[in-house]
Amino acid sequence: MTTYRLRVNGAEHAVDADPDTPLLYVLRNDLGLNGAKFGCGLGQCGACTVTLGGASVMSCLVPVSAVGARPVGTVEGLGSTSRPGVLQQAFIDEQAAQCGYCIAGMLMRADSLLARHPAPTDAQIRQHMQTNLCRCGTHMRILRAVRRAAAALGAGTSGARPSGGKA
């Protein structure tokens, strides 16, 4: 066991873990952040997507030892049930979630896109989001939600970044 210092959603944490423990397990089991889901365990579905240093990554594939000083962002850092962030509100408004299993990963992938491209084209949204899968087939609603969030952020709605810069 090794002690790792992680910055998650703007808060510092010290966790004891084996170096090869997936970041997903540390987030869920040690920090109680259950938004990122275990889907395939192979980095093929995106249910476990978080941001690492601003880039979206499949946390089931990232060993905790590889995190280093890069900040980690999870869906819990985007907002809350009572105060959803701009991106979360766009997903609510577009009814982008059906079963909800993929949504945390979709939100985090969209967060990393909007942080880099505040006004993405439809082609950029499709390309960036294609890595994450939705078994319920709400992809079109998800794309509309990302467009809605980009428009809201461009109009100056609270915060320059979807995550409010907490990642």
End-to-end CA distance of the chain: 26
Q: What is the pLDDT of residues 20-66, one digit of tens each?
A: 999 999 999 999 999 999 999 999 999 999 999 999 999 999 999 99
Return the structure tokens found at 144: 């509309």
CA 148 to CA 107: how far, in whole Å? 13
Q: What is the pLDDT of residues 126-147, one digit of tens each?
A: 999 999 998 888 899 999 999 9
pLDDT score, position 137: 86
pTM: 0.90
Mean pLDDT of 79-104: 94
pLDDT score, position 81: 92
Between 159 and 25, the more confident residue is 25
